[in-house]
Amino acid sequence: MFDIQEIRSQFTILNREVNGKPLVYLDNAATSQKPDSVLKVWNDYYTEINANVHRGIHTLSQLATEEMELSRRKIQKFINAKHDFEVIFTKGTTEGLNLIAYILTQKLKKDDEIIISYLEHHSNIVPWQLLCERTGAKLRVIPIDENGILQLNYLDEFLSEKTKVVSVNQVSNALGIVNPVEEIIARTRKNSDAYIVIDGAQSAPHFEIDVQQMDCDFFVFSGHKMYAPMGTGILYGKQEILEDLPPFHGGGEMIATCSFDGTTYAGLPFKYEAGTPNVGGNIALGAAVDFIEKIGRQNIQNHENALLEYAQRKLLELENIKIYGEKAKRVGVVSFNLEGVGISSDVGMILDKMGIAVRTGHHCTQPIMDFFNIAGTVRASFAVYNTFEEIDKLVEGVKKAQKMLG
């Protein structure tokens, strides 16, 4: 049974007030709040274990290693990776994408091509631009239509023997649009041998992920958007590809042998995990997976879809509201503006005075904003603990902003 009040009771922060009002937290696409169970696991590591992993024979080091490797196996199951060593711990989606772009450097040459889309976060644009600068490759961008929907006929036009990388997000952080990654992958496989990278930062918290069925080469996501601590994330890569490519960072943990004459590298996953990892955070990421699985991903998806439908319907009952991507398939995000109000942050500040946390601005997606000829949007994004009553408060806040801003 899905009990929203029982779920909310697991998040102590939801009991606090902001500006004298009960907190209404609708900025989950930026970061989610953390349940007490996850915070307890994180705290228990530092108060009861606090040792480095893989490097000691003493009890605390053994415990730390066991707990972190258990977390890795939980994540393997969570995304249905074939092997646990295909799961690489990172600081988050941004580091994962930068890692991939760096280790692919030797695979690209002048005039090769990298395909991304107009819907990408800057983290899935800039690393590829840097790769183009290093190699002389060229960037090609799948356009969108007025609804924010990718125009995949351009993908077919772009794909060729020059295509070496196709990297797209599964869900747009700015608009909440769900992209047809399975179709993108199938079209790419049919027409090229490109590496396929999927940014799952906004999909992993919201619905089931199966990297084997998807048949991507890489899949990256962040822990802090799925109820885990900040500074945690995952890079999944197919075994044969990760074994073929060079390391990202050099240092401890990632070596098999090291001498002044040369170094050999450790096997997976340690080849890509140089240095001391975020042990407590990585263990807590496993606890976040436990939290999600206990509720059930289908239950989470059903609840968030209902919130989205309700929020869109209630906002569109107001006059002079523009929702971006309104007609596209979306998940958990309403990105909107008040017509005639040029600065979305003005709306955000009014809502904040009412205890309502939303995100305003370009959401690290300036090309999307340029496409719609706007500076930014107001973005309300949902998580499993949000309620319909909170949507009502958002709508009342928007009404107040309309009156105050004319």
Contact 163, 154 (CB under 8 A): no
Torsion angles phi and psi, residue 374, rounded to 5? -135, 160
* Helices and strands per DSSP (H, E), number in the chain: 14, 17
C-alpha of 38 from chain center: 18
Q: Where are the alpha helices (DSSP H) in 170-210?
A: 181-191
What 32-36 contacts at long range (C-beta under 8 Å, 24+ apart), as own/partner pairs, is 32/205, 32/224, 32/225, 32/226, 32/227, 32/383, 33/227, 33/383, 33/385, 34/227, 34/228, 34/229, 34/288, 35/10, 35/11, 35/227, 35/288, 35/291, 36/10, 36/11, 36/12
Which residues are bridge partners to 259 per DSSP?
Answer: 262
Active site residue 364: yes
Contact 296, 107 (CB under 8 A): no
Pairwise CA distance, residues 89 & 228, whole Å? 13
| C-alpha triplet 121, 202, 335: angle, nearest 5° | 70
| Block residue for tokens 């044969």 | 240
Q: For residue 359, give both structure tokens.
A: 């995100």
Torsion angles phi and psi, residue 381, rounded to 5? -130, 145
Catalytic (active-site) positions: 364
